[in-house]
Amino acid sequence: MAGIKPLTPIFDRQLNPFTSLRNVPQLARWSLLVIPPAIIAGSASALFLWGLDGVTRTRWAHPWLLYFLPLAGIAVGWLYHLFGRGAERGNNLILEEIHEPGGGVPTRMAPLILIGTWVTHLFGGSAGREGTALQMGGSLAAGYGRLFGVKPENRRVLLLAGLAAGFGSVFGTPLTGAIFAMEVVIVGQVQYDALIPVLIASVVGDATCSAWGIHHQIYHVAVTDLTAGFAPPTLRLVGATVVAGMLFGLVSRFFSELTHALQQLFGRWIPFAPLRPAVGGAIVVLLVWLVGTRDYLGIGVISPEPTGVSILAAFAPGNVGWFSWGWKLIFTAVTLGAGFKGGEVTPLFFIGATLGHTLAGLFGVPVDLFAGMGFLAVFAGASNTPLACTVMGAELFGAAYLPYFAAACFLAYYFSGHAGIYRSQKIGVAKHSGE
């Protein structure tokens, strides 16, 4: 065929069979470079998750803390106003530094985001944990590079390794962490030049976090046909998967655009930054009064109430409320749009899992399967990382339903447009022709 070169000449060359061994020293150097910051990032994630569990249980035990959320917002706003100096750009600052190294990522970002996220969750803000882990991993890796004089050309890979270690350790998904770091930087492209360093960093970060005694939530998607390896592709199941994937993408796009719009709105209406979270906190308190439940506060992985709505509850049959996904979306967009700290990912898991639960009831398909698909796909659409999210499905739920996870994630990615949660992502390959 025209344009395709034959492989034969490659094997006709006189090559030294040991030529590839020249890569061993480089691999050793990269390992020595990324392992220490990965250990630091994994330890930071362990500290963060330990504290997050503590502040969440404290809020459950003392419901009155919610009414101090506006004051907590002022405290978080003042903290960043006094010490932020660029760190408030968070994940976007790290992505910008990966694209074009400039002023660097300040090490103070790590303690700022750690304290800010703990305060947000202690008083009931709806936020996640991924943003905290990524910012701690990236900023600590950057600080490590400055301390030991890492060359500028290697700092980009060091930052990617920090992202991988943070993500892999905070969710207990080391392979996903590595792929996420390579995929999140440029939409439609994977940074394979950093493959080995980010994989090493993510595995080491996760192992370090586990070594500190941190355990991650386990989710179950039942396998109904072990001989087939995954659920037989009936017309109903395939059709429901396609429709659900499209809806997951549209919802992820709406979440991203609403959060960014609220950030701009708060910035325009409230010029003094420390007051924005205070107003946002007051709105969250009013939303709790309006909805009549506290299920949409905090991280939402589990609920203190047996009948409460949570990510875990979405995987089991029962009534989680047909609009639970929408309420969580609104609570989170207000919390993060106003300037509280935390991540978007775990709330996206909540939104996707509860939306999948609702769609499963409408389509008459397995609830746990569609909760898992939504869990992954809404995040895939919002972060523009469908490959990483598909792999996350295998790491969290097992590989039995991997074809369905992949279909949902890639459809969500396609239908989410280019409005992701990370504004500093660059578009490498447009999702649609003509864009």
**Would the pLDDT of 198 be above 60?**
yes
Per-residue pLDDT, averaged over 238-264, amounts to: 97
CA-nearest of 139, 107, 127, 163 to 52 is 127
pLDDT at 177 over 90: yes
Of the listed ranges 70-84, 211-225, 270-284, the one predicted with least confidence: 211-225
Residues 264-275: tens digit of each pLDDT: 999 999 999 999
Identify the pLDDT of residue 227: 41
Domains and CATH numbers, the chain: 28-211 (1.10.3080.10), 235-427 (1.10.3080.10)
pLDDT in tens, 312-330: 999 998 889 999 999 999 9
Between 102 and 175, the more confident residue is 175
What pLDDT digit, counting tens, does each position of 400-434 carry? Answer: 889 999 999 999 999 999 889 998 888 888 876 55
Task: Answer yes or no: is pLDDT of 12 > 80.
Answer: no
User: In this structure, which amino acid lies at residue 423?
Assistant: R
Question: What pLDDT, on a 0 to 100 scale, did the predictor assign at position 19?
Answer: 58
pLDDT band at 341 (very low <50, low <70, confident <90, very high): very high
Residues 13-32: tens digit of each pLDDT: 555 555 566 667 777 777 78
The overall average pLDDT reported for the chain is 89
| Residue 331 confidence (pLDDT) above 60 | yes
| Residue 11, pLDDT score | 47
pLDDT in tens, 139-167: 999 898 888 888 877 888 899 999 999 99
Kindly tell me if the per-residue pLDDT of 291 is higher than 90. yes
pLDDT at 84: 77
pLDDT at residue 211 is higher than 70: yes
pTM of the full structure: 0.92
pLDDT tens readout for residues 213-238: 999 888 878 754 434 445 677 899 99
Q: Which of 81-85, 115-119, 391-395 has the lowest mean pLDDT?
A: 81-85
